[in-house]
A = this chain, B = another copy of it.
């Protein structure tokens, strides 16, 4: 650790923070040092990183001097309170919260799509919403060849998108069911039991019946694709799956795109794996995309409700490509272009 990038992970003890640390271990670029930050409650804990024992620092009052890139994943309030002072101290902040995503001055980046949105001297960069990234990885290759005008999306979202406590809630509800199947399950994280159920509401309702999560899918898609006209009508649903979000999407394109042309565009797209042979039981599923870097797309069919419509099903690990991996890819691209350290 003598040459290379000085990295910080803020929210190091959370679910996405843990994924950032796992990616750091893979040395995506030369790393000189790693600092870890968390709230006072978790400060003082020690975590092994790249063969060294690193003490978690209390974010409040910490001095961010000497950090090249900081990955924030501790929620919007923490990002709003601390990201600006990290940037002032010279760090590039890659923020996984929604705090700055729609700020016109802040680039919102999926590296496969709009790396060019990052300025020469990057300050704050926002990592998009996880469902939006999973959708866009399949949407963008089709948008490039035929311009997507609209999307109707129904999601199948894993509990790990809510965080570690939601994973525990699903686990404990399933264990309780095995012990006494008749008993109603106790719920704290979600308003209703998630085991053996689906909950058709992710986050709060904010706009004409749409939830925050559903609004993010439209607003962030518009910003990332630089297309204020594209519409995304989403229904976001939590399902009893631990990891990986899935989305059933129906798109309408400006120019009609056939199934074979769509398959070719998706097969050629970086970060996308075409898994589309239902007769051989090959289609995207959360179980097999968990822990995988690529987004999987399949069930590609012509839509019968529009002469320019197409249906597909996409699944991807929302903690990896939908969060930490996307952020790490941004950092790696900045290192490669000499904009970090």
Partner-B contacts on A (CB < 8 A): 149-152, 154, 156, 174-175, 177-178, 191-193, 196-201, 204-205, 208-211, 218, 231-233, 235, 237, 239-242, 246, 248, 250, 252, 259, 278-279, 281, 283-288, 298-306, 309, 311, 313
Contact B285 A192 (CB under 8 A): yes
Kindly report how many copies of this chain are found in the complex they form together.
2
Given A175-B178, A198-B286, A305-B150 in contact, is the A156-B237 Cβ separation under 8 Å? yes
Given A174-B178, A200-B283 in contact, is the A305-B259 Cβ separation under 8 Å? no
What CA separation (Å) do A204 and B300 show in the bound complex? 15
Chain B proximity of A184: nearest CB distance (Å): 9
List 16 A-B pairs, Cβ < 8 Å. Answer: A151-B305, A154-B248, A191-B281, A192-B281, A192-B285, A192-B287, A196-B242, A196-B287, A198-B241, A200-B283, A209-B301, A232-B304, A233-B301, A237-B246, A237-B313, A248-B248
List chain B residues, Cβ under 8 A from A232: 304-305
List chain B residues, Cβ under 8 A from A233: 250, 301, 303-305, 309, 311
Contact A201 B309 (CB under 8 A): no
What CA separation (Å) do A151 and B154 show in the bound complex? 13
Contact B235 A278 (CB under 8 A): no
List chain B residues, Cβ under 8 A from A211: 278
Contact B200 A299 (CB under 8 A): yes
Contact B285 A205 (CB under 8 A): no
Q: Which residue of B lies closest to A305 (CB)?
A: B150
Chain B proximity of A176: nearest CB distance (Å): 10
Chain B proximity of A223: nearest CB distance (Å): 16
Chain B proximity of A187: nearest CB distance (Å): 10
Looking at chain A's contact residues, the main secondary structure is mixed
6 nearest CB pairs, A to B:
A154-B154, A150-B305, A209-B301, A154-B248, A197-B287, A191-B281
What CA separation (Å) do A61 and B242 show in the bound complex? 50
List chain B residues, Cβ under 8 A from A281: 191-192, 201
List chain B residues, Cβ under 8 A from A178: 174-175, 178
Chain B proximity of A198: nearest CB distance (Å): 5
What CA separation (Å) do A196 and B305 show in the bound complex? 32
Contact A241 B197 (CB under 8 A): yes
Given A156-B237, A301-B208, A305-B233 in contact, is the A200-B287 Cβ separation under 8 Å? no
Contact B241 A196 (CB under 8 A): yes
List chain B residues, Cβ under 8 A from A302: 208-209
Given A174-B174, A196-B242, A304-B218 in contact, is the A299-B231 Cβ separation under 8 Å? no
List chain B residues, Cβ under 8 A from A241: 196-198, 240
List chain B residues, Cβ under 8 A from A231: 304-305
What CA separation (Å) do A279 and B250 show in the bound complex? 27
List chain B residues, Cβ under 8 A from A192: 281, 285, 287-288
Chain B proximity of A125: nearest CB distance (Å): 28
Contact A246 B174 (CB under 8 A): no
List chain B residues, Cβ under 8 A from A199: 283, 285
Given A192-B287, A242-B196, A287-B192 in contact, is the A209-B259 Cβ separation under 8 Å? yes
Chain B proximity of A174: nearest CB distance (Å): 6
What CA separation (Å) do A252 and B200 show in the bound complex? 21
